[in-house]
Amino acid sequence: MRVAGELAAIDETEARPFPPHVLESLRSLVGSDVASYTELDSPAGHVLDSYAVPDDGGKPRHHGPDEAEIFWQLKREHPWCAHQDRTLDVTPRLLSEFVTLRQLRNRQFYTDWLRPLGVEHQVCVGLPAQPTHTKTFLFDNGSKRGDFGGRELTIVALLRPHLVRRYDELQTRRLAAAALGALETTDEPLVLLDDAGRPAFATARARRLLASHGLDVADVPLVAPLVARPIRPDVLLLEEPRPLGLTPRERQILELVAEGQTNAQIAATLWISPATVAKHLEHSYAKLGVTSRTAAARLVAERGTYRGWQRGLEPPTTGTTTRGSTN
């Protein structure tokens, strides 16, 4: 529970999914000589991230200048890596489940990679990922501590969901930051929505476009998107047809006018000012080609209600409004 709490409490500014102090807590709990975390892009032969926490008083482990070349040449000889590539299974496993110590010592991977590190026993566990992008924790022991057992496998299995959640949360923040960065630099009229569908950010052009139709950013959730097209990774542009060319707020106000409410009553119903109601009506009259609320109310009665328009009972005009959302 302490380690799970540490994972949940990692500072949001931390760039690494599992900073060294958390890796050290994992190492201590499992009871291994060394704990390491590695991310690999196997097809490209790139180590995306790799770091280890040695035992107290231990020295950083080295292979020499050709260590990367050695690793990629011999990676498939590692029994757990071969198992992972073949089955996509990344659940906790002991190295000794695949080979005996005698068999391991006869492999070149052991001679050129594990033996220089002093490793003879491992617990291996991965996080969900595309087959080309592996994310792996290794807990290593030398001959002095001996092999791991059911206790260590159980600990790692219990912690794995917390490790997965931590990585997913970090990825979500990275995607949100990328989307926000796109919004801040684009000239498109985009609005970024939060998980509840409320506007979290709008570009300057989006604010101008909304204002030109008598809307503000708070009105965006009223827009029912019908068409979506991607404009860049993780950002969509959504469009909706407008019945009679009216905005959702204008249609809403006209429905209340048709019910006989005064501007003051409409303002109280919608939690807006009477002046805002009057401004919306002014825009509506111009779009409908009428000059009074009576004529507007008659047109509403002839063409159907606001709710009917929302259900698509009224053929849409060519007017559109736009909004953006993260994918």
Q: Please give the Cα distance from 182 to 213 (Å, whole number).
A: 25
Q: Residue 38 forms beta bridges with which residues?
A: 50, 136
Residues 171, 255 within the same domain: no
Residues 237, 277 within the same domain: yes
- Evaluate whether 133 touches 39 at the Cβ level (below 8 Å): yes
- Evaluate whether 256 touches 269 at the Cβ level (below 8 Å): yes
Q: Please give the Cα distance from 46 to 68 (Å, whole number).
A: 9
Residues 154, 280 within the same domain: no
- b/e per residue 288-313 (b: at least 16 CB within 10 A): beeeebeebbebbeebebbeebeeee
Q: Tell me what pLDDT residue 239 has.
A: 57
Residues 193, 291 within the same domain: yes
Q: Bigger pLDDT: 226 or 34?
A: 34
**Domain end among 158, 177, 196:** 177
Confidence of residue 183 (pLDDT cuts 50, 70, 90): low
Q: Tell me what pLDDT residue 122 has.
A: 94
Domain that holds residue 59: 2-177
Q: Tell me what pLDDT residue 58 has.
A: 43
Give the CATH number for residue 233: 1.10.10.10
Q: What is the pLDDT of residues 257-300, one digit of tens each?
A: 888 899 999 988 888 888 889 988 988 888 888 888 888 877 76
Q: What is the pLDDT of residues 120-134, one digit of tens each?
A: 999 999 998 877 788
- Is the pLDDT confidence value at 322 over 50? no
- Evaluate whether 42 touches 16 at the Cβ level (below 8 Å): no
Residues 117, 91 within the same domain: yes
Residues 236, 94 within the same domain: no
Residues 131, 205 within the same domain: no
Question: What single string gives the DSSP state of each residue in 110-164?
Answer: IIIIIHHHT--EEEEEE----TTEEEEEEEEE-TTT----HHHHHHHHHHHHHHH
Give the CATH number for residue 59: 3.30.450.80
Q: Tell me what pLDDT residue 313 has.
A: 33
- Nearest Cα neighbor of 251 from 292, 287, 212 is 287
pLDDT above 90 covers a percentage of the chain that reads 22
Domains identified in the chain, total number: 2
- Nearest Cα neighbor of 266 from 236, 293, 226, 231 is 293
Residues 47, 121 within the same domain: yes
- b/e per residue 193-202 (b: at least 16 CB within 10 A): beeeeebbbb
- Is the pLDDT confidence value at 235 over 70? no
**Domain end among 144, 177, 210:** 177
Q: Tell me what pLDDT residue 124 has.
A: 93
Q: Tell me what pLDDT residue 232 has.
A: 63
